[in-house]
Structure 1
């Protein structure tokens, strides 16, 4: 219907049905199809008179679909366009709707190359949210600030502080979806400051909320959090169950980012269980996915794979990967350990 109205030049109906078609495709996790419908809706909005809610709906939906399909740079560009003067038209509500998801994307670990930029955008959004008394946006921006502090890693107590502020606002105003999001990532921050009981409680509540809402993308992220938590407690079978469910959900919804991370975690779990072949297979699948997403220098997964290759007797593979890591100058102790393991497995104690 959207295509027929579009071809007939009936812009108002074409816009309506493009948004409906995009939402239908997004519910089925058909991201590329959803993107095509949202692109058409945005094209129409760019040339006709429209209200602010129509612009927010189309641009935010398009950005969300791009983000879920792993196109983070394109998602960021869409949000920036929404906040620009040609689209926002000076409407502060539109500007807020644009700045909040920008800070979310910039807070993600594969894009946080400039934490100060993320903080600047987030603090701008926080001030605007408070000015407009938009509690949903306020809670979300505080969540974003938690993420950037957590992933930068220099001030995990600040991450916890932002997360607890976000949680309190979400609880006070009945924002269940945001509460689930915040709890999921607050759990990670709790783990890093030795507040394990609170971390597991946050994970449990988050997963209950996400399952009730049917939010598979965020449940996917929560499952990888619990897998990592179980791994560091040496509860490897529990970690394996969470990571395998995470992989299943990732494949069902086309979430390449979390699937790539789950393969890395699975590699570590299988290694601890003595299943070197499965460990290598998981990393060999996950590493190219990490690289394709632009994850900053996936040296740790590569070095882990180098170590596994050495233990399995693949001297050439282990030495090649470890040598590349040495050339980069990063993580040199781990690289030398992988090379030593390779030589030991080959029976060359002198070189080891």
Structure 2
């Protein structure tokens, strides 16, 4: 029901009892109405405490805590945190918020920022540096003792960068668990981004032998496809134990009311039936309804006991929105204005943003926020940030605003954020997603389109395709609502994100739309690119369809008088011929492409074509020619410092030296020592750049090379390592 309730706060629960003993007639407006004890969760608490004990003994655990909004997940988490703290656990927590599913790494950054700022002396300088370096663009203000950031790590492609961050953060967390038991809590996963869910799955696989309890909460009635997939993975691999919290019974609601009003169990209450009917056993609703009833005098203390008005006079609010409304009505006009702005800004809001919006000085705004905190609508998270006590509170206040009011406030917030953060909009920690959201809700379609596209591109760079899709879709909807011709690039980018997720039909639809827009605009290059994209997409399912697209792209390229476009088309069609077992046609296409690149003196194109020719020659049975091509490609890749391509080319060179599949062919001139050297170099490079697919390719190829030469033990060792790595990263090829 409530997050991070401390012992000091628990002492406040006796305020109602003190008021009763003092025989006061009216309970102060800011008196907390919170249940001081946990009701109806004995079995759940016992089960979770047993997981704490097992984690402390070195049997790492993953616990899922689910239920509807307000059912008491956060309250149970608070009890487990107290229990874990008594066993000397280190406590770490990250939270998700409603807009986070479009912001990569959101709860993980929340966790890191909180830990690194709250416990700066708990880590060595080298540990802080390692974590901050991995997340440097996303944590620009953390860990810089001398005011300057640590040096950037070498740039990798998005997938490799994601894996490097995963490894660094997992190593950091398991390292903490080796020093002392660790409880890691991530709340409200139904709002999490896909990348964070992927990391939590990655971490869950690695904590079984650690003194580690990973506790995750989510709303069971607000699951999205990515969360369902995440939960299915945990179920399939039997990595987690789940506790589903049910609503409280009528008897449990009565026990809850006795605890809140500090009454003996023998005292009979007339409240349980109407309260239970109203709240349907949701603990948060119970507390909010009671606050409202006390605030309006519907429940009052007189003659030494709590009373309520007659049933016919009792107007109990029929929703949480009514309960919140009763409390907001007692606020000052200025506080209500701040509250409305905060509700439109989001579940979490910055002090600086509110100050700019309201033009209050710091002391004035602090007093107004204190008024909101006293009304139990808002809580302080840090010196710079505040949040609504519960998402339902924020939603109720937001829903109470007229549509015209919301639009005006969204526009004001968007304009203010744009002005405040204009200098940081290109950084990974920028407010692009927030700006896209607020301009969209304000009906400012041109800016919603522009920021939506930029936010989607940023999410793609962070390898968060689901978040990218959401941003691109919002941008396209803004274009439609604003009667703005949608850019073909938006459909192409969204199609690529769908392709990454394996959602073929959606990706195909966007590719076709991109093609139609390009054809209508008579943009030949965009039309060619769309045909190439469709070819790549169909190659996953239907080589005939892929070949048709690549052939159409080639025909278009020949009409464009663009030699480099033509050469790239030839290489794609050549690779398609190879995959449909037409090596001679593949060879002709690649040779024609090579001639074009050579005439244009495009060294990168030449290197790419040599590499393709090497594989084509290998599968065509000409290992000698294949070796020559791959050696030329490797030399050029080394010259360009293209380490990713070099790792692949070196592995292919080892394959060309002969293996199980080429025993009946005339092998190349590569010696045993050179072949092994090529394989080991490829493996070393792949590991240095964090490219797992290249590492798997090198391990499996090395095993296939060593086996026929009698080195069975080593061959088995490297093949097993490759298979384990492939399984670990769910590599299906």
User: How high is the TM-score relative to the length of structure 2?
Assistant: 0.33
1:165 paired with 2:604, answer no
1:91 paired with 2:518, answer no
- Asked if the contact 1:79–1:101 (Cα under 8 Å) also holds between the matched residues in 2, the reply is yes
1:284 paired with 2:724, answer yes
The 2-side partners of 1:31 and 1:97 are apart by 20
What is residue 220 of structure 1 aligned with on the other side? 644
- Asked if the contact 1:63–1:76 (Cα under 8 Å) also holds between the matched residues in 2, the reply is yes
| Cα root mean square deviation, aligned | 3.6
Aligned residue among 227, 234, 238 for 2:678: 238
Aligned residue among 5, 18, 24 for 2:458: 24
- Asked if the contact 1:267–1:281 (Cα under 8 Å) also holds between the matched residues in 2, the reply is no
What is residue 713 of structure 2 aligned with on the other side? 274
Q: How many Å apart are 1:148 and its aligned residue?
A: 0.8
Seen in structure 2, the aligned counterparts of structure 1 residues 203 and 152 have a Cα distance that, compared at 3 Å, is farther
1:137 paired with 2:565, answer yes
- Asked if the contact 1:180–1:206 (Cα under 8 Å) also holds between the matched residues in 2, the reply is yes
The 1-side partners of 2:688 and 2:465 are apart by 17
What is residue 184 of structure 1 aligned with on the other side? 611
Task: Give deviations 1:222-281, integer Å, cap 9, x for gaps.
Answer: 522321322442422420331343255455xxxx76565455436546765733344323
More helix by share: 1
Segments of 4+ moved more than 6 angstroms? none
Q: How many Å apart are 1:12 and its aligned residue?
A: 1.6
What is residue 203 of structure 1 aligned with on the other side? 634
The 2-side partners of 1:8 and 1:264 are apart by 55
The structure showing larger relative contact order (alpha-carbon pairs under 8 Å, at least 6 residues apart) is 2
Q: How many Å apart are 1:63 and its aligned residue?
A: 3.9
The 2-side partners of 1:176 and 1:49 are apart by 45
The 2-side partners of 1:178 and 1:43 are apart by 38
What is residue 306 of structure 1 aligned with on the other side? none
The 2-side partners of 1:17 and 1:180 are apart by 38
Give secondary structure in 1 for the equivalent of 2:520.
coil
Task: Give deviations 1:145-181, integer Å, cap 9, x for gaps.
Answer: 111112223x323212211222333444466665554
Matches within 5 A, 1:1-16: 1-16=435-450
Seen in structure 2, the aligned counterparts of structure 1 residues 232 and 124 have a Cα distance that, compared at 3 Å, is closer
- Asked if the contact 1:167–1:182 (Cα under 8 Å) also holds between the matched residues in 2, the reply is yes
Seen in structure 2, the aligned counterparts of structure 1 residues 183 and 115 have a Cα distance that, compared at 3 Å, is same
- Asked if the contact 2:494–2:510 (Cα under 8 Å) also holds between the matched residues in 1, the reply is yes
Seen in structure 2, the aligned counterparts of structure 1 residues 179 and 81 have a Cα distance that, compared at 3 Å, is farther
The 2-side partners of 1:189 and 1:59 are apart by 34
What is residue 123 of structure 1 aligned with on the other side? 551
The 1-side partners of 2:466 and 2:641 are apart by 24
- Asked if the contact 2:614–2:628 (Cα under 8 Å) also holds between the matched residues in 1, the reply is no
1:41 paired with 2:469, answer no
What is residue 578 of structure 2 aligned with on the other side? 150
Aligned residue among 533, 545, 550 for 1:101: 533
What is residue 514 of structure 2 aligned with on the other side? 82
Seen in structure 2, the aligned counterparts of structure 1 residues 280 and 257 have a Cα distance that, compared at 3 Å, is closer
The 2-side partners of 1:260 and 1:66 are apart by 25
Task: Give deviations 1:298-329, integer Å, cap 9, x for gaps.
Answer: xxxxxxxxxxxxxxxxxxxxxxxxxxxxxxxx
Seen in structure 2, the aligned counterparts of structure 1 residues 13 and 119 have a Cα distance that, compared at 3 Å, is same
What is residue 265 of structure 1 aligned with on the other side? 701
The 1-side partners of 2:563 and 2:473 are apart by 30
- Asked if the contact 1:266–1:282 (Cα under 8 Å) also holds between the matched residues in 2, the reply is no
Seen in structure 2, the aligned counterparts of structure 1 residues 261 and 198 have a Cα distance that, compared at 3 Å, is closer
The 2-side partners of 1:179 and 1:3 are apart by 45
User: How high is the TM-score relative to the length of structure 1?
Assistant: 0.62
Seen in structure 2, the aligned counterparts of structure 1 residues 26 and 208 have a Cα distance that, compared at 3 Å, is farther
Seen in structure 2, the aligned counterparts of structure 1 residues 63 and 182 have a Cα distance that, compared at 3 Å, is farther
Matches within 5 A, 1:335-346: none
The 1-side partners of 2:470 and 2:634 are apart by 35
Seen in structure 2, the aligned counterparts of structure 1 residues 5 and 82 have a Cα distance that, compared at 3 Å, is same
The 1-side partners of 2:501 and 2:573 are apart by 21
- Segments of structure 2 that go 5 or more residues without pairing to the other structure are 1-434, 658-671
Seen in structure 2, the aligned counterparts of structure 1 residues 243 and 124 have a Cα distance that, compared at 3 Å, is same
Seen in structure 2, the aligned counterparts of structure 1 residues 30 and 207 have a Cα distance that, compared at 3 Å, is farther
What is residue 229 of structure 1 aligned with on the other side? 653
Seen in structure 2, the aligned counterparts of structure 1 residues 186 and 245 have a Cα distance that, compared at 3 Å, is same
Q: How many residues align?
A: 272
Q: After alignment, is 239-248 or 158-167 more displaced?
A: 239-248
What is residue 62 of structure 1 aligned with on the other side? 494
What is residue 78 of structure 2 aligned with on the other side? none
